[in-house]
Amino acid sequence: MKVKSDVCIVGSGPGGALLAYLLAKQDISVVLLERHPEFSREFRGEFLNDEGEGILKKHGLFNSVEKLGLLRMEQIEYWHDGQIFKTIFPEWPVDHVGIHVPQNHLLTAILNEAEKLDSFQLMMNTRVTGLMQNEMGRFTGVKARNGGNDLEVQSPLIIGADGRFSIVRKKAGIPVEIKDHGYDLLWAKIPAPEGWRPSIKMALVNGSQVALFTQAGGFIQIGWNIEHGSFPHLRKQHFEPFIEDLLLAFPELKKVVCENIRSWQDFILLDVYSSYCETWTKDGVALLGDAAHTMTPTGAFGLNCAMKDADILAELISGCILQGDTGFLGLKMAEPKRKAEIERLQAVQVDKEMSFASKFAAAYV
């Protein structure tokens, strides 16, 4: 099977889906490839900051997302020995300190709008296997498997929006620099106790950061920093003392934690690192989101950065097409400004991670 499009986007996460919609809305033909057969997977980066919220509102998508379900955080709390000692409230006129959006709600809202457009085509259960090149070495499309069938998508521009393990980045030969941040993250999801206010709660447990994020649907997501590579050793130890430390920090969780976290298997391990590509474009290929610059969970920048990439790329790509820039050189020329912003945010993440314990202790004193 062969398909032609102006742009082929690989990866239907928030960045890829948003870019596909914004391009299709301008009558630019887009094929969006997603390797999974459905969007009902568990996600961990689902926190909208004011920039991500602004992008959705700019493109008339926020109300659709809200109808499907989201949750505004009322405050950020810092806890020690089971007590709040510092609270941060939203600053007027904003009524929240962030928004939790289930990623399937976000994707559904975007793709529902995209599927109304004739210039948009979504192909699920489609795994990219390689890139096609012409005699000049320029990439001209992708090879993939759609279900059990071979597929070729011919396109003058390929967008790699396929995450930290990007196959597009790999096949295009774009080098990536990996930075170890010295910690991994244990995730767990539990029901929120009755009367739990939508909030973000922080604590320092045995020198490690623990964060609780309230989620839409009546849940709490626990994020517990542990030393990088320590989980195999940690899980050989008794489980109960580990959980007792969590309950000393947040006594309200005792009942729901005891009912829902009963072994190490109830945690999901996230290997934490950031990555950075010196170039985000190469001969008909452009990267966005985690494929170009993986962010750590600190500050919840990842989702929002991917959507900002999409917002900026949509304008640049349409400009290139209108100006007859068939080599999409405009994408390369605009790259330095966006890269500088990502470098700044990654530096902010490092600073927050390195200074959390000292700033937490200083605030408590």
C-alpha 286/C-alpha 291 separation (Å) is 10
The overall average pLDDT reported for the chain is 94
- pLDDT number for residue 37: 87
Listed in sequence order, the DSSP H helices in the chain are 14-24, 50-58, 62-68, 103-114, 167-172, 231-234, 239-249, 254-260, 302-322, 329-333, 335-364
Per-residue confidence band for 260, with pLDDT thresholds at 50, 70 and 90: very high
Q: What is the mean pLDDT of residues 244-249?
A: 94
> Length of the chain, please?
365
Q: State the average pLDDT over residues 186-194.
A: 95
d(CA 141, CA 172): 11
Reduced to 3 states (helix: H, G, I; strand: E, B; else coil), residue 306 is helix
- Give mean pLDDT, residues 128-144: 96
Q: Provide the pairing of β-strand 139-146 with 219-227.
A: unpaired
Per-residue pLDDT tens over the stretch 95-111: 999 999 999 999 999 99
- Which SS3 state, helix, strand or coil, does residue 339 take? helix
d(Cα 57, Cα 18) in Å, to the nearest integer? 12
pLDDT at 17: 97
| pLDDT at 44 (0 to 100) | 67
> pLDDT category, 231, cuts 50, 70, 90?
very high
pLDDT given for residue 222 in this prediction: 95
Position 183 scores a pLDDT of 95
Mean pLDDT of 214-236: 95
Residue for token pair 């490690």: 208
Task: Provide the pLDDT for residue 101.
Answer: 96
Contact yes or no for 289/163 (Cβ under 8 A): yes
- Provide mean pLDDT across the span 133-155: 95
Share of the chain above pLDDT 70, in %: 98
Q: How does pLDDT run across 153-189, given as a tens digit for each residue?
A: 999 999 999 999 999 999 999 999 999 999 999 999 9
pLDDT for the residue numbered 38? 85
Q: What angle do CA 328, 333, 334 make, to 5 degrees?
A: 100
Q: How confident is the model at residue 43 (pLDDT cuts 50, 70, 90)?
A: low
Count Cα neighbours of 267 within 13 Å in the Cβ-side half-sphere: 22
pTM listed for this prediction: 0.96
Question: In 3D, which of 45, 41, 102, 39 has the Cα closest to residue 70?
Answer: 102
pLDDT tens for residues 267-320?
999 999 999 999 999 999 999 999 999 999 999 899 999 999 999 999 999 999
For the cut 70, the answer to whether the pLDDT of residue 73 exceeds it is yes
Cα–Cα distance list, 290 to 73, 163, 269 (Å): 25, 5, 18
Question: Are β-strands 99-100 and 71-72 bridged in parallel, bridged antiparallel, or unpaired?
Answer: antiparallel
Residue 279: which of 169, 171, 178 has the closest Cα?
169
* Mean of pLDDT values over 141-151: 94
What pLDDT is attached to residue 359? 86
- Give the pLDDT confidence score for residue 41 in this predicted structure: 64
Confidence class of residue 363 from pLDDT cuts 50, 70 and 90?
confident
